[in-house]
Amino acid sequence: MKFAFSMVSSLILGILMASCISSKRIAYEVPCETKKAVVWATHPLQQVLGDKPHRDYDRDKLPGIELHAVRNEYENAQVIVSAKEDVRVSVSLSNLTHREVRNCIIPGDCGEIFVEKTIAIKKNWHRNGAPLGDYPDALIPLENANDFDLNVARKGRNLGFWISLKIPTDAKAGMYDGQVLVAMGDEVVHIPVSLRVYDITLPDRTTSRSHFNINANEVSHYELDSSKEMFDAYVQFLRSHRLSPIGLCGGIAKKQYASRDERLAEAAIEHVKAGGTTVGLPIVQQVKDGFKLIDPDQLANTIAFVTHEGYKCGLNLPKAFACYNYFIDEPFYTNQPDGRVEKMIEAYDLAIEKASKILLENKEFDPKSDLGKEIMEQIPKIPHIITDYFDDVNRYRPPLKNHDGTPFTYAGKKVALCPKFNGFTTAERRAQYDNGFERWCYTCNEPGHPYPSYHTDDILASPIAISWMMAEYGIQGNLMWVINLYGLSGVKVEDPYAEAHIGTGANGDGQLVYPGKLYGVYGPVATMRMKAILDGNEDFELLSMVKAALQKAGKDPIAGIHALNEGYCRDGQLVGGNHEYERARLKLLETMEALGIGK
């Protein structure tokens, strides 16, 4: 796919360069006004609404594209065409040439070009001051957009183009120069590009954990394809954004496998070998003691079987395991019978004990080997994720109780509590989650700004802030209830690209991707929000490198991270916007390079 895209990109660039001979070459300035449109560069996180006058964004128009990046990461740019008439637009990125070593080039093929398709936002659910209108969100690859006339800028509207540049791992540090060419018929605007590559390399490995749910039914309905290959395209998409799904086996025909555990084992091994950090454990319910609880035997057998299959391949799969208990999702919000949460935790603990015993009884498993020891130490650490708060500050329902009517508490329980960021508002509240198990967090339809979210009408610095606060607060995992839901209560909207609200009380909640079939894309179509999540995940790795270096030097790593982001996010909330993030990230890169971190 990358090779095919590179051929298309090179062809477009060649045509554009050749057309400059007969076309009107327009040097870029601000504002760059031609007969057909006003063309302008803007910040990579700026959301330019399609139906707003371009003059509303005058202070966001830049004299050129200025990028700051490290090796092996993606860096983004935006170009906006504000049309005076309907005009088809082609955008391409030239080679970027090192200023001092002229034979050092980052090929233009390292950049992917997307058209920003807008989606209607008709209500501001969280009263955060965001305007109503047509928000850019879906990123349609340029070649697909051309087939469906999505790259035609309509008179009186803004059309955004998203440029995603992957910095090669062998790129020489220093300054690079190039151009973005914007062709509109016989007019070609040349926008200058400057790129600073820092002497830092982002690791291939991902260390953060995640559970982003892919709804297999929605995939089947909107892609008209329930195959393993289609579901795997969604899984691979998440991996390319340094994320893992909750379930790995959607879309796999059961007749191909003897059991669900066999299906999961194959998918888990493939996922971990490909760089996935998290493997979700499936759970089923049984009625016991009058409660619907996890079936401990099913879970134990699954853990033991999949672990052994990984062991035969030399893998410690329990290190990747996580169990999100969606049967008692949000106990702070839902009515739970007295004792159910208590008994659910007991059932999970029993499953962990049984899984260890089953493995030890397996004659093909050697618990005394190095790998065997690692596995046996890891199994009791498999996080039991419950979306709840340690305290009752954010509770909507009466406090939980045990089966005997006494007050329930998570104190001493073997759980990985997973609150929203309004559970991390003070150092004291954050300390409550230090129980020896992984810390997790999640976002949903609420709360909204200033708490971080993935909502379409939130600023793009908001998804990134989640990763920055995860790094500062020692949060390992990030949970998202679904990425591809386009209707509630069984209702399927005809066009998922039409309106951002599906009934959850937040714009874009549960919609981080769009089905690709409508525009000739195999698999999901990314969003600007998903690219912001990738930015955050990349930053998490850089911040983790800084924390490790500070700890090695005997300094406080948390204080170090806080010093970087103090004007951006604090106490679970955003205190700054897109520009504050850009300043914080620049400070991060300059600090790393000055200290020789990540060379």
Closest Cα partner for 158 from 32, 47, 31, 12? 47
Residues 7 and 129 in one domain: yes
| β-pair type (65-71, 187-201) | parallel
Based on DSSP, count helices (H) and strands (E) in the chain, helices before strands.
Answer: 13, 28
Q: Is residue 488 part of a domain?
A: yes
Residue 444: both structure tokens together: 């949903």
Q: Is residue 423 part of a domain?
A: yes
Residues 460 and 595 in one domain: yes
3-state secondary structure of 487: coil
Residues 338 and 301 in one domain: yes
CB atoms within 10 A of CB 524: 25
SS (H, E, C) 534-548: HHHHHHHHHHHHHHH
Q: What is the DSSP string of 289-335?
A: TTEEEE-HHHHHHHHHHHHHHHHHTT--GGGTEEEE-GGG--TTTS-
3-state secondary structure of 143: helix
Residues 404 and 441 in one domain: no
Q: What's the rounded Cα separation, in Å, for the pair 384 and 262?
A: 22
Q: What's the rounded Cα separation, in Å, for the pair 215 and 293?
A: 23
Q: Is residue 546 part of a domain?
A: yes
**pLDDT in the model for residue 5:** 38
163, 181, 201 — which closes off a domain? Answer: 201
Residues 404 and 474 in one domain: no
Residues 258 and 343 in one domain: no
Residue span of the structural domain in which 69 resides: 2-201
Which residue shows structure tokens 């391949």?
313
**pLDDT in the model for residue 256:** 64
Q: Taking the C-alpha atoms of 493, 495, 500 and 506 in order, what is their torsion angle to the nearest 10 degrees?
A: 20
3-state secondary structure of 58: helix
Q: Is residue 327 part of a domain?
A: no
Residue 463: both structure tokens together: 């998804």
Q: What is the DSSP string of 241-280?
A: TT--BS-S-TT--GGGSS-HHHHHHHHHHHHHHTT---EE
Beta bridge partners of 141: 114
Residue 132: both structure tokens together: 């109503």
Residues 217 and 178 in one domain: no
Residues 240 and 366 in one domain: no
Closest Cα partner for 484 from 260, 246, 134, 284? 246
Closest Cα partner for 516 from 163, 122, 117? 117
**pLDDT in the model for residue 255:** 56
Phi, psi of 132, deg, nearest 5: -85, 160
Residues 90 and 170 in one domain: yes
Q: Which residues contact 566 (CB under 8 A, 6 or more apart)?
A: none
Q: What's the rounded Cα separation, in Å, for the pair 495 and 321?
A: 36
Direct distance between the N- and C-terminal alpha carbons of the chain, in angstroms, rounded to an integer: 30
Closest Cα partner for 340 from 379, 285, 299? 285
**pLDDT in the model for residue 128:** 80
How many domains, the chain? 3
Cis check: omega of the bond before 245, within 30 degrees of 0: no
Question: DSSP assignment, residue 447?
Answer: S
Question: DSSP assignment, residue 171?
Answer: P
CB atoms within 10 A of CB 14: 11
Task: Please answer whether residues 463 and 526 qualify as being in contact, where contact means their C-beta atoms are separated by less than 8 angstroms.
Answer: no
Residue 79: both structure tokens together: 């170009």
Residues 304 and 165 in one domain: no
Residues 152 and 14 in one domain: yes
201, 234, 252 — which closes off a domain? Answer: 201
**pLDDT in the model for residue 254:** 56
Which residue shows structure tokens 């410690």?
316
Is 103 exposed, middle or buried (CB count within 10 Å of its CB: 0-12, 13-18, 19+)? Answer: exposed
Rg (CA), the chain: 25
Beta bridge partners of 179: 192
Residue 426: both structure tokens together: 């003070």
Domain at 39, CATH number:
2.60.40.10
Task: Check: pTM over 0.85? Answer yes or no.
Answer: yes
Q: What's the rounded Cα separation, in Å, for the pair 240 and 69?
A: 18
180, 201, 222 — which closes off a domain? Answer: 201
| pLDDT tens for each residue of the chain, 599 residues long | 333 334 444 544 454 444 444 578 999 999 899 999 999 999 999 999 999 999 999 999 999 999 999 999 999 999 999 999 999 999 999 999 999 999 999 999 999 999 999 999 999 998 788 999 999 999 999 999 999 999 999 999 999 999 999 999 999 999 999 999 999 999 999 999 999 999 999 999 999 999 999 999 999 999 999 999 999 999 999 999 999 999 998 765 555 667 889 999 999 999 999 999 999 999 999 999 899 999 999 999 999 999 999 999 999 999 999 999 999 999 999 989 999 999 999 999 999 999 999 999 999 999 999 999 999 999 999 999 999 999 988 788 889 999 999 999 999 999 999 999 999 999 999 999 999 999 999 999 999 999 999 999 999 999 999 999 999 999 999 999 999 999 887 788 999 999 999 888 999 999 999 999 999 999 999 999 999 999 999 999 999 999 999 999 999 999 999 999 989 999 999 999 999 999 999 999 999 999 999 99
Q: Is residue 389 part of a domain?
A: no
**pLDDT in the model for residue 4:** 37
Beta bridge partners of 176: 98, 195
Closest Cα partner for 101 from 183, 5, 177? 177
Q: Is residue 409 part of a domain?
A: yes
Residues 25 and 81 in one domain: yes
Q: Is residue 463 part of a domain?
A: yes
Q: Is residue 129 part of a domain?
A: yes
CA 516 from chain centre, in angstroms, equals 18
Residue 249: both structure tokens together: 């086996």
| β-pair type (384-386, 416-417) | parallel
